[in-house]
Structure 1
Amino acid sequence: MKEYKVINWKQGLTGNNKRLEDTLNQYAQSGWRVCHLAEHTARIVFERDKNR
């Protein structure tokens, strides 16, 4: 079974790529992987196995 997490990415002007990279790496360390990135709404959907 899978579980999902949705976050809204707040884009800023300075350091945006670095902040996004740090956020993605932080979720990856917790077992999450990106399964969808909504470009126009800046929404990121993560998934992971629920029984991990």
Structure 2
Amino acid sequence: MKEYKVVTWKMGFTNNDDRLEDTLNTYAKQGWRLVQFADSSARLVFERDKNR
């Protein structure tokens, strides 16, 4: 079974790439995998196995 997490990405004026990379790496360390980036709504959708 999978579980999902939706994160709203808040764009700033500086360091967007670095902050996005840090966010992705943080969730990856927790076992989350990015499955969708909705550019128009700035939402990141992650999934992982619930029984890991």
Q: Bin the TM-score by the shorter chain.
A: over 0.9
User: Which 4+ residue blocks in structure 1 deviate beyond 6 angstroms?
Assistant: none
- Identity of aligned pairs, percent? 65
Q: Provide the alpha-carbon RMSD of the alignment.
A: 0.3
Structure 1 unaligned blocks of 5 or more: none
Measure how far apart 1:39 and its partner are. Answer: 0.7
Compute the TM-score of the two structures, normalised by the length of structure 1. Answer: 0.98
- 1:48 and 2:48 aligned: yes
Q: Distance in 2 between matches of 1:35 and 1:45?
A: 6
Corresponding residue number in structure 2 for 1:17: 17
- Consecutive unaligned residues of structure 2, counting only runs of 5 or more, are none
Q: How many residues align?
A: 52
